[in-house]
Structure 1
Amino acid sequence: MNRLVLRAAKAAAILAALAAMPAFAHVTLETKQAPVGSYYKAVFRVPHGCAGSPTLKVRVRVPEGVISIKPQPKPGWTLETIKGSYAQPYTVHGAQITSGVKEVSWSGKLLDDNYDEFVFQAYLAEPTLKPGQVLYFPVVQECEKGVERWIETASPSDKPAPSLKLLPKP
């Protein structure tokens, strides 16, 4: 009888540990905190396709206040940006800018069994962005069969948008 109790306790402990582990099925940011008024390297981790189907496109919408986007090209992938006007002008290195990249997309093929990262550099502009604020980067993952929309900002969520907590300027 004691063996049965021990086995049940071990099984319960394993299940509890698995339940407490973070979900790895989401598109996430590698670095989840950054100071305002600084450059930030956004690394979006894509751990799988859509229900077994390969990923063909990853689209990231850039939130207001995240400016001076410079996406990193990926060998074998086509890089595209959509530009538009900012809600307000920003000053970076003494120059005023009123428009820039609003969305970045990479098109290629990532098999469901593989993992990859999609990267851009950006500036986290003051005074629009404030310490303590959480920024959301909605991501749409298009696959051969299906689409995953990592766009939700409420917590908890089954389809959370990658998020970045803003810290005070150093």
Structure 2
Amino acid sequence: MSSSTRTTPTAPRRTRRAVIATAAVIGGTVLALAIPTMASAHVGVSPDELVAGDHGVLTFSFSHGCDNSPTTALRITMPEGLASVAPTMDGDWKIDVARGDDGLVSAVTYTALAPVPTDLRGAVSMSVGLDEDTPETLAFPVVQECVDGATEWTQLAEKGEDPHSLDSPAPVVTVTAATADGHGAHDATTPKTDAAGETAAADPLPTVLGAGGLAAGIAALVVAVLAYRRRV
């Protein structure tokens, strides 16, 4: 009488399940990190509030490029209602100023002496002067040129529309009325910014999407572990 021994290939199966579980965790983590990065890509301005008839220094900051292509230039168009514009000299940028028929600055182009990598934050600045009759909002359309392609940050929110819902919003500065002492409700010399130089008002979308990506990764891990335990 002959007998045979049946060997169950448990080791290879365990290895495959471990690989699946690891891939699930990595995929969820990547998604959690990548989605907020994509959602927060924009050109911002700080401060985002100035006082009518006053002066201030506006800093336009950006990160990422055109589909992850390094940034080579920023062309910023000036809105009507500015009494003066003076770009800030910077050793990292070449500055070209265009003027209208009235002699006022109509656009400023900052060309990077070396392309700005997508994983670094870049910034340019300018001093602006406001009239007493400057509009309540000042939009600064920006064209971000890159090694490959360009992105036009020119969209403006309609009345009642959430600016965060726009794909390519233009940087906007709110102008407040001057009080009797010549200052607005907020001191224009003390902008509300966070550590990255952006406006203090945070966009909740990147946080929500990031949490969703992390939750997806954790869920995938749980499913993989349960499947592994059932088959062992």
Asked if Structure 1 and Structure 2 have the same fold, meaning a TM-score greater than 0.5 normalized by the shorter chain, the answer is yes
Which residue is 2:155 aligned to? Answer: 152
Q: Matches of 1:76 and 1:40 in 2, distance apart?
A: 22
Contact 1:140 1:148 in 2 (8 A): yes
- Is the 1:83–1:99 contact (alpha carbons within 8 Å) kept by the matching residues of 2? yes
Spell out the pairing of 1:1-170 with structure 2 (5 A cutoff). Answer: 23-85=39-101, 98-108=102-112, 109-127=115-133, 129-130=134-135, 133-154=136-157, 155=163, 156-169=165-178, 170=183
TM-score (norm 1): 0.75
CA offset at residue 77 of structure 1? 1.8
Partner Cα distance (1:143, 1:67) in 2: 31
Q: Distance in 1 between matches of 2:82 and 2:140?
A: 10
Cα distance in 2 for partners of 1:24, 1:145 equals 20
Larger radius of gyration: 2
* Number of residue pairs the alignment of both structures matches: 138
Tell me, what secondary structure is at the counterpart of 2:103? strand
C-alpha RMSD over aligned residues: 2.1
Contact kept in structure 2, 1:67 and 1:101, CA below 8 Å: no
Unaligned runs of 5+ in 1: 1-14, 86-97
Amino acid in the other structure paired with 1:99? G
Q: Which has more helix, going by share of residues?
A: 2
Q: TM-score, normalised by structure 2?
A: 0.55
Provide the rounded CA distance (Å) in 2 between the counterparts of 1:101 and 1:26: 24
1:65 and 1:126 in contact (8 A); partners too: no
Q: Structure 1: which amino acid aligns with 2:121?
A: Y
Runs of 4+ aligned residues of structure 1 deviating over 4 Å after TM superposition are: none
For structure 2, the residue ranges without an aligned partner over 5 or more in a row are 1-31, 158-162, 184-232
Structure holding more strand per residue: 1
Specify the code of the residue in structure 2 equivalent to 1:30. Answer: S
Shift of 1:34: 0.8
Q: Which residue of 2 aligns with 1:95?
A: none
Distance across 1 between alignment mates of 2:105 and 2:147: 27
1:88 corresponds in structure 2 to none
TM-aligned CA deviation for residue 31 of structure 1: 0.8
Q: Which amino acid aligns with 1:115?
A: R
Q: Deviation at 1:52?
A: 1.3
Aligned-pair distance for 1:76? Answer: 3.1
Q: Which residue of 1 aligns with 2:223?
A: none
Give the superposition deviation at 1:48: 1.6
